[in-house]
Amino acid sequence: MKYIDIQKKTDAELAGLISENRETLRAENFKDKFTKKASIIRTAKSVIARTLTEIEARRRNQVVK
């Protein structure tokens, strides 16, 4: 998911996106090493990071105004 797509989402959608990806990450981490998919873990981590970055940017912009 690109950052532009994340910027268009509402705060509730962002919270849902974070919880969904954290659950995916948790599920992948508990698999044994032969069935883990590194690409799924990497993608989930990047989506979580981008989403948290957008939430923090919105919070900072709200405080400045």
Computed on alpha carbons and rounded to an integer, the radius of gyration of the chain in Å comes to: 14
43, containing H or E segment: helix 38-64
- Contact call for residues 14 and 55 (beta carbons, < 8 A): yes
pLDDT at position 34: 87
pLDDT in tens, the chain (65 residues): 899 999 999 999 999 999 999 999 999 999 988 888 999 999 999 999 999 999 999 999 988 76
pLDDT at position 1: 85
Of the candidates 3, 35, 29, the residue with the CA atom closest to the CA atom of residue 17 = 3
pLDDT at position 56: 96
Residue listed under structure tokens 């981490």: 29
Q: What is the rounded distance in angstroms from the CA atom of residue 63 to the CA atom of residue 65?
A: 6
